Structure 1
Amino acid sequence: MKKSKNIILILVVGALYFTTGACNLISSAGLSSKGLPTNEVSEELPSTTANSEVNVDHSEWNTLLKKHVSKEGLVDYKGFMKDREQLNAYLAKLAKLKPTDNWSVQEQLAYYINIYNAYTVDLILNNYPTRSIKNIDGNWTKDIVTIGDVEISLGGIENSILRKMNEPRIHFAINCASISCPKLMNEAYTAAKINEQLDRAAKDFINSDKNEISKNSAKLSSIFDWYKKDFTVDGTTLIAYINKYSNVKVDAGTTITYKDYNWNLNEQ
């Protein structure tokens, strides 16, 4: 009898995982930062390179994004495949630049966002062609990212590093290679522009067709459901957070519903 209950519990948890589609909220159990530093954003995030021990050059990634990502965030993976040598060189460069506590929060954010996005592209290329990142085994749980002497998963970077940095706009900056994801920006994140870039990513996503917003209605991306607690710290409501970036202001108390998530590949 006990064994039957355990089997049922496993089946229910599995069903929840595939029903919600959250990148790795359920599968993140046991993930850690592996000792990598996570400086927290204070009340404001000025864009600057003046307060860090290291200023990382992300120009190689910027060049690849300009070449292979459209303004709409759709990716030319076949084109990326032709520039595999340049992508590998960029990943190797980042692997040698292990962040420390002496890096500014701006440099850390830019580094972790860029390495997450670059390795996501690399993951797709390693399994191309594929209809969806969800068809790839261990997509967010395998330790495929190299940072110094650390091997960490994409889920580890998202849940144990970026989400710990007190900056919910990261959810609009990291890309999970899917149609319903916030778009992959066709420029690299940098400490010199990080606040403006995160603001643009938030506004682009919230005002896109990934959400259906009007004065009395809010049908939002499932991202706001999966990561609700990140957007509602210090008593902020989800509607109040949306209204910070939405062109159309939603009335307080409006009932929120969530859209189905399209996990098909974000390919041009």
Structure 2
Amino acid sequence: MKRIILLLLITVQGFAQNFDYRNYTDLLSNHVSSKGNVNYDKLKTNVAELNLVVAEFEKTQPRKNWSRNEILAYYINSYNVHTLKKVIDNYPTKSIKNIRNAWDDKFIVLGSKNISLSYIEHNILRKMNEPRIHFAINCASFSCPDLLNKPFLPQTLNSQLESVTKDFINDGSKNVIEANEIKISEIFSWFSGDFKSKNTSLIDFINKYSTININEDAKVRYLDYNWSLNK
């Protein structure tokens, strides 16, 4: 009976059946603000806590019996925690772009092989046909989507992806949207194909989340990306 109650409590708290996100939850809540700002100085002093979470991701990887949402949540969270590690391992720094091979360094252990942040993004997440991942993964920079200060969880993944996508698109510091002209993040340029389909344009995608309706013939411009550290 006690075991059943414990399992029910874990489910209610939102922890994945195949991965325990409790330590990652604590790491984020202790070092990331509700606005997505990271206290890197504090995290540097608590590097053992960060390394513990990284080790948990290395110890448990997705298996064939995992659901799509469990796999998506795992790799989104893995990308974000390993980005934190990459910055902390090279901290202090003013920008992740100052770190040599930040995205291509194969420092992430996945089973019997080592992979990079780029591999997770391009070879795993983008191939799962879920464009909203671009607003969930964080590149430790001001112009990136905010780093959520709690894990993405399989049970709540769709609502979380909807929320972060809406928040990013309507954030005036990331995008400036008017009916006849939009000045938007370069994310929409770099990954334009991920947001469009045979019957859906980029503006159609943005209009699903924008509080301002954009005309289909609106001018589209891209804002310069600010790579300053999100602290």
Using the size of structure 1 for normalisation, the TM-score is 0.78
Structure 2 CA distance, aligned partners of 1:237 and 1:117?
A: 29
- Residue 54 of structure 1 and its aligned partner are, at CA, apart by 5.1
Number of aligned residues: 217
| 2:160 equivalent among 177, 189, 197 | 197
| 1:232 equivalent among 180, 196, 199 | 196
Alignment of 1:252 onto 2:216: yes
SS of the counterpart of 1:55? coil
Using the size of structure 2 for normalisation, the TM-score is 0.91
Structure 1 CA distance, aligned partners of 2:105 and 2:197?
A: 30
Unaligned runs of 5+ in 2: 1-10
- Residue 63 of structure 1 and its aligned partner are, at CA, apart by 1.1
Unaligned runs of 5+ in 1: 1-47
- Residue 148 of structure 1 and its aligned partner are, at CA, apart by 1.8
Alignment of 1:185 onto 2:148: yes
| 2:26 equivalent among 53, 59, 63 | 63
Alignment of 1:96 onto 2:50: no
Instruction: Report the aligned-residue RMSD.
Output: 1.5
Describe the superposition over 1:74-101 as per-residue Cα deviations: whole angstroms up to 9, x where unpaired: 1001111222112111111111112122
Higher relative contact order (CA 8 A, sep 6+): 1
Alignment of 1:222 onto 2:186: yes
Alignment identity in percent?
Answer: 47
Structure 2 CA distance, aligned partners of 1:161 and 1:111?
A: 11
SS of the counterpart of 2:114? strand
SS of the counterpart of 1:240? helix
* Aligned counterpart, 2:8: none
Q: Tell me, yes or no, if the aligned pair for 1:54 and 1:103 is still in contact at 8 Å.
A: no
Structure 2 CA distance, aligned partners of 1:113 and 1:151?
A: 17
Structure 1 CA distance, aligned partners of 2:44 and 2:218?
A: 46
Alignment of 1:110 onto 2:83: no
Structure 1 segments (4+ residues) deviating >2 Å: none
* Aligned counterpart, 2:230: 266
* Aligned counterpart, 1:166: 129
Alignment of 1:146 onto 2:106: no
